[in-house]
Structure 1
Amino acid sequence: MSKPKIGVVMFDAATDAASVIRAVELAGGQPVKLHPKTTTAPDVADLRVVILPGGFSYGDYLRPGALAATQPIMSVLEDAVKAKELTVVGLGNGFQVLTEAGMLPGGFIANTTPGYHHAEVEFMVENTVSALTNAYEAADVIRLPQKAAFGSYTATETELEALEANGNVIVRSKDSSSGSARDIAGISSDDGLVLGLMANPEYAIEEGFGTDHPDGPGLGVDGQGLFISVVRAAGATNAEGVVGA
């Protein structure tokens, strides 16, 4: 049986892209590299999910994600989402891009504690039916790396109330120093087709290279579930979407 294809946008200086590709493969998916200058819909026609990885610079001195959001592929992805043909997931800086492109509400400002922070953070899963979290149980606590200088999510009070009322907050941080409004770390659009997570689960997918764990350093693999969820959303069946199956 063919593996579900998942697009990965290769933004300039997307240093996390290779790790996202590896995570997709381990979760049973087939990653497809997409150039940010892509301008034609056929390039994403056979994809069900596209991931925007983080780790790129793209002018954080301006606003994180602002320049990446102007890349031609973003218009292609937005049109596909409007046509209900695609799910788009932004991880880390990819979440920032989605807000700058107007595909998710709110935006990002500098961390409450100034400077670039790279830490292991505990998150709580609040929504288990999204394309990013369907492999988890409600209230699961997962430990993932988070790295950003502008990782503090902010939005108007009206936007925050709408996110809460519609069940669109999918993940909250438990101990992050970023200072995000209402501890929001992950959200979805009303239709569930656009999702963002201010974390880097691609660095918690393999034992020995993941987060610290009670059984030993590097043994945490809580990020697996996020990619398993994405592969399932892309059309996985049977054992597909299960690491090591």
Structure 2
Amino acid sequence: MKAAVIVFPGSNCDRDMAVAFERAGADVTMVWHKDTALPQDVDIVGVPGGFSFGDYLRCGAIAANSPICQSVVSHAERGGYVLGICNGFQILTETGLLPGALRRNAGLKYICRTVELTVETADTAFTSGYSVGQSIHIPIAHHDGNYFVDDAKLAQLQDEGRIAFKYADNPNGSVADIAGVVSKNRRVLGMMPHPERAADEGHGGTDGVAMFRSLMDQLATA
């Protein structure tokens, strides 16, 4: 399986994401934000965490207008898989691939700790390695992770089973405790917690491993 990890000025989780993909069996290419094309026959694009362009304007807004993001959007529109983590989630909302917006944390402070999540759906390539209702522990590290959608869009996400993860104890004020959502075709996932930081025993937990392994398993049988 082929994965591409996008690198922006200010990305700081790109290598972590690449290692998580590699350990799950993917062949990974790092792609600079000024490139205009993704590697040929890429299966999944990873949009990593960090502080792209210093989080100026709005988190992810400048990165979403980088040349490579046009190819990421086209890849997703063709049915390709995309995983956006933390700043990557913010970028995916700015491109319009995922609904909603990530606002300043309700407590107005940067939060960096491991949190408990509840798996809300196993009906995606990203979450098929978990079971619905399963409790997992994944680190967060963000200042603008307060997910917001209006009531109508929230109802749609709930009705379509597109909420992937919820916080067991909401750390940032996200509407309906949402920690991650998927696109309508279920092939784009955005989440604020960092599964790539819970993919090795040295990280203090390995609850993120199942995401990368199940994703590779799903791609292998697609």
TM-score range, shorter chain: over 0.9
**Post-superposition offset of 1:236:** 6.3
The residue number in structure 1 matching 2:72 is: 77
Sequence identity percentage: 35
* From 49, 53, 59, the counterpart of 1:54: 49
Name the counterpart of 1:5: 2
Amino acid at match of 1:67: I
Per the alignment, residue 121 of structure 1 pairs with 115
**2:34 is matched by which residue type in structure 1?**
K
8 Å CA contact retained: 1:122, 1:176: no
Distance 2:42 2:210 in 1: 20
- Using the alignment, how far apart are the partners of 1:194 and 1:148 within structure 2? 21
Given candidates 169, 173, 179, the residue that maps to 1:175 is 169
Aligned-pair distance for 1:126?
1.1
Q: Distance in 2 between matches of 1:234 and 1:71?
A: 27
Q: Secondary structure at the match of 2:169?
A: coil
In structure 2, what is the equivalent of residue 160 of structure 1? 154
Instruction: Tell me by how many angstroms 1:47 deviates.
Output: 0.9
Q: 1:142 maps to what in 2?
A: 136
Partner of 2:16: 19
Which consecutive unaligned segments of at least 5 residues does structure 1 have?
Answer: 211-217, 238-245
Q: Deviations over 1:90-139 (max 9, x none)?
A: 01110000001111100011111111110110001111121211111111
1:32 to 4, 15, 29: 29
For 2:211, the equivalent position in structure 1 comes to: 226
Aligned partner (choices 63, 66, 69) of residue 61 of structure 2? 66
Which AA in structure 2 matches 1:80?
A: H
Residues 234 and 33 from structure 1, CA distance in 2 versus in 1: closer, same or farther, beyond 3 angstroms?
A: farther
Q: How many residues align?
A: 222
Distance between the aligned counterparts of 1:236 and 1:48, measured in 2?
12
Q: Could you tell me whether the CA contact under 8 Å between 1:111 and 1:151 is conserved in 2?
A: yes
Which amino acid in structure 1 is aligned with residue 146 of structure 2? Answer: S
Output one character per residue of 1:46-103: Cα deviation in whole Å (capped at 9) or x when no partner.
Answer: 111111011124242421111111111111111122222x111101110000001111
Structure with greater proportional helix content = 2
Q: Distance in 2 between matches of 1:152 and 1:222?
A: 23
How big is the shift at 1:158? 1.0
- Secondary structure at 1:6's aligned position in 2? strand
The one-letter code of the counterpart of 1:224 is V
TM-score norm. by structure 1 comes to 0.86
**Structure 2, gaps ≥5 residues long:** none
- Alignment RMSD (CA, Å): 1.5
When residues 56 and 233 of structure 1 are mapped into structure 2, their CA distance, relative to the original with a 3 A threshold, is farther
Distance 1:236 1:53 in 2: 25
Q: Specify the code of the residue in structure 2 equivalent to 1:93.
A: N
Asked if the contact 1:6/1:231 (under 8 Å) is kept, the reply is no
The residue type equivalent to 1:231 in the other structure is M
> Shift of residue 31 of structure 1?
1.3
Deviations 1:15-64 (A, max 9, x none): 10111111111112221111212213xx3431111110111242424211
